[in-house]
Structure formats: C-alpha cells, structure tokens
Structure 1
C-alpha cells in the first residue's frame, strides 16, 4: 500500500486523549470515572453568550472576514485595554481556537528545521504543531524541585543557535500552573531583543491567578512591538471550549499580514461562535471572582489530599487549573491505563493525563501525571483517595 508521510509518523498522540478508548470501555463495564485528565471546566458558560446564539436574528449563516468580525475585534481591543494592553482591532486576528493561532504563527515565522525554545513541561500540542510545521522544539527543562520556575536566562543563552527563531511560554502555565512574574518576563524580553528573536506567549489562562499574584502580559512591554506575539482563547476564560474561538495579537504588521494569508486560506473563523464570544465579553467581572474562589478551593483541596499520599510530590499552582504530581512509580502511562482497565474503588476510578507527553526530552516526566482540578471539591477528595488506594496495590 502507499506509505504515509514521515511527518505523519512523527505526529505524536495526545497524552490527554489517547486513553479515551480505555475510559469508554471502563464506563461500559459499569465504572464511574472522575475525569482529571482534561481541562474542560464544569463551570457554566455565561448565559449572555448562550443567549446571543439562541436569540440571534441571523438569516444567512455567512462567512465572516478572515481576520474575524470587526465588531468582535473592536470589543476584544476594549477588553485588553482593561488589562493594561493597548491594541487596536487591526492588531488582532481571530482564529479557530488558540490551536489555529499557534499553527498560523509557526507557519508565519519559521521555516523547515527552524527552532523554537520552549520551557518544559509544556502544553502537549505544541509538539504536534511544531511537527506539522517541520519545526524543531528545543526544550529547556523546568523542575518540580524548583516549583517549575523559569530557568536561568543563562540556560536559554546556551540553547540559542542560528536556527533559533523564537522563545515560547505559557503563562499561567499548562500543565504546571506556574505563573511567571513581571521580572521574569522582562528577562525574556531582554534576551529576545538581544538575539533578535520572537517572544510568543500563550495567555489563555490570564484570568486565573491566585494568592494575590497578578498576570503580566508580554504586550505590556515597551519597545518589543516587533518581537511579541500573544495567543488567547475564550475556551477556558468563559468555559466555552466547544466554541473553538481564539486569537493572536501582535503589533508587528508584517506578522499580521503573513498570518492573514494563512487565515484567508481557511476562509474564516466560525460565525456563530464569534457571536457567542462577542457576547461573552459582556460578562461581569464578578463572574471571574466567583470562579477564582472556586478554583482556589479546589486547588487547596486537591493539594492537601495529594500531600497525604506517601511518596507523592506536588507543587501548589499559582494560576490556571492544573498541577503536576510526581508519583512513587516508574511509568505513569502504564499506571493511568491500569487505573481504567484494572482498578476501581466501589466501582469508581480516575482518569489522569500521563505527564511524559508534556515533555519532549526523552525519559523525563515518566513518573508524573497532570491533574486538572476542574471537578467539585467532593469529587476531588474521592479521586485523590482512589489514587492513594491504587498506589498501594499497583506494581510497575
């Protein structure tokens, strides 16, 4: 038979979704599963967004502009101004989720075998987008022992080559929940300016920062307009993962012009979802304060329960709604599958995401899992207890 491409062979499986068949079988076998594996909040989508779709008077569901509707981009610019980010609607390109924004950026600024430096562990699909663009991810490892803090700038310097085009971060971080400070962002700004690189920041969790910490965007930096590209999405902010609406924001006109060519090739982002996303911007700030309180309670509950388990190491996240837990086992991929296939406690089990898929360095993170604390407090307590009891009987 004809062969598939090398790129297709290299495309990684999702560490988040590859266990779905085992979970489906577990459900068929009568088990209840606590889903800690995926960042799908159980928070209700703002009613104003749902109402905008249900009650709109659209008679022809037509294409929007390739860069997104002008009214939505105007309102996005106003939203960003409230977060100390001064941009106009022309600085914004609406995309089909943050995923498409990443793909457009890689396609616009990098050629085959160019390099992007990314702190690992990182969002697993970064590897997939890099593979699709024939771009090389150069990892710089952050450690659970250092609370996944930004590695020393000297370590970044060591990795820069003539093929390096960008440094990419996620802030707050998925999968670690790490939040980079303004000082750390400014250190990155210095290095990208010195080496004439791009600084890409995935900021989809900007609303979710805890314990008095605040988010500092790369677009708040002065003198970096030609270097900075920000990625955003409505998925987590408004619990609208299924809308598939994101955007990229940059003041670099050349990048925007190039990205727009990719956007034109796919015609336009989804019209109904833009209607919902535009309406969601009317959500009152109290919505986020309530959600932050919920996530803080969930985070504190989960971390407290995990800390009760012998041999487990975990860092308290400062943002987003994920944490990485290191387990007293050798292979978390096997453990995660075993939980679904062979273990239950009162006919209940847990689905987690093995953390090895969030690393590109071989052999790193094999004994770690990512947990999304998107379930209610009671469910998190039960899920942590299942992990505790499972570890007592699991054999590598």
Structure 2
C-alpha cells in the first residue's frame, strides 16, 4: 500500500493545508470546487506529527497530441506547511507520484510551476507559452456586420454539448481531452463566466468564446472558430462592448499569435509569457506511439539522461514504412546525447533538435541529430487548461 496516498476522509486536513499554504479565504464554493478535484485525483500527503506537512494532487487526464491520445497526470497544489518546509516533503511526494504514474501506464505529466528551476530537478521542462493581447477600447478594430449567422449569449452553466464537441475537435496540440467531470468542475469554478455562441444560418455551432469581466476590463478566456464567419461574428460581439469596458484582454494558448491579424498592429500590446511545463514519464511509450513526421529513418542511437531509471538509457530508434522500432540499446555506441528536458522540448515541438544542438544542449553527430529531428513535430504545443 502506498503510504503517501490520502484517504477520502482526510480531505479536511488537505484542504486546511491548502488554505494556509496559498493564503486563500475559505468559502462554500471554494471548498466544493476543491473537493471535486480531491474526489477525482490521487492525493498525496506526508504527515508532520498529527498534522499534514506536505501535499499535492496528481490528477488523471488524457491529452491529444496531433491525433494520438496519451494518458497525462496533472500535478497541482504542491504545498508544505512553513514549519515543515525544507525537509524534502514535497520532493518525496512528487517522486512517488512519478513512480506511480509509470506503474499506472501514464505517459506524460504537466504542471504549473512556482519555480522553473525547482521542477527541472524532477525532469519537467517549459513547453507551453501563452500570448496575452491587450487593446484599449478606443483602439479596437472596426468589424463589418455579417450578412449571415448570429451570436447567442448564455451563462457558462448553460453551454450546449455542441460547444464541448467543438472544443474537442480543436485541441490536438497537446491539449486536454476534457472529461465530463472536468467540464463540470470548470463550470463550477468559473460560475461567473459567460459564453458567446456563433451559429450559421442553419443553426450549426461554428464557434464560441468564453469570457468574463472585472471592473473595466473584458477578459477572453477561450476562443474557437471553425471558419471566418464565426471569427467575424465573435469579433463583432467583442467590439460591441466598447462603450462598457476600457480594456480588452485575450490570453491565447497560441504562442505565435501575431498582431498583423489586426488592421492596426500598433493598436495591441502583445506579450508572450511562459505558461506550463511538461514531463515525459514513459519515454518508450511516447516514442512508440508518437505521430511521426518522417516515414523512414536509419537507426539512431541516443543517450537520454534522466532521474527516472526506466528512461535513463541509450535508446535505438529506426523507422521503416512509417513503423517505428524502439529498443533499449545500453552498451551500444552513441550517436547523440541529451537530457530528458531537452528531448521533451524537441518532441513537443517547442524547439527543434537542430536549434537545441546549436545552443549546446544536444551533443553528438550533427547528421544524426538532423535525421532524428525530422521525426518530430515543429509546431509549438498549446494548452488552455490550468490545474
């Protein structure tokens, strides 16, 4: 039995530590939402006498990476009581969570870091960025009226199933396949949010945005479009709030969002900010089911340095007619060597292996590095969800 896993009846201990560690105010809604995560997570805790000293969530998800679904556990609310800090409690729990993920056939893990350096010790690496676009109300673009389609505004609690289906069809860059409980959790957590739904003339949902407002700022939380009609309908909907709000902010999961999409690029302030980190938990499975970009590859031997012993090997990769063969090749000659963090950046498309080699993060035969690089996607991943 795992000595670090907490029982269902230990919720109050975990919740109390959360409130104190993150300086949160208790409320019925906060407790209810937190309990939803507790019920659907592997919850780890380390006791300090009769009190809980450290804790974290390991939340089971599934993600879509270019059409391939992988199990992913999201790490959240990593915390330690001040009197228990510095004793390595959180480190013990995170290492145990990673070991359990591997045993439970989980391939990947994501988390939102309080410190990038701290989580790099555990093999996590920065791969997700967001672009924050800010426009003042007097600089909003002029949007022409559409001669087709319409927009319907609803409370977040009243979003239709079609919206959830539209979301699922658009998140193949490493985004979360939202299960029903996660949707319900999000709607409960953000009960003050609203949604604008774009329909065509046949009443088919072609796009949506989820938004909220605070004081004089209009925030767009999520925006998806199937076609230009939806884009224009929803953009017009946003600009119709020009007289109500002074500032409009859209935090896009697309790290390459460009202001040239606007009629006046100077009208917007665009800032790219780091968002979340990822970790390859089971490298062999990630490689064997990876959606390849190259149908053939002569055998390449590469050494991966990792704190997880099952990943810390020399591996051989060979591709023939689109079928990949991955084997443990310890003892063989090595064509290139890199850390699990560097490989994560390359496999997720955050950086190419070639560029990482130029930065000195990959060592070895440049021709082999270039050959292996052709297998991987070079489109940056995108993630909206937060945990």
Give TM-score, length-normalised by structure 1. 0.27
Give TM-score, length-normalised by structure 2. 0.27
Greater RCO (Cα-Cα under 8 Å, separation 6 or more): 1
Judging by fraction of residues, say which structure has more helix: 1
From the CA coordinates, give the structure whose radius of gyration is larger.
2
Judging by fraction of residues, say which structure has more strand: 2
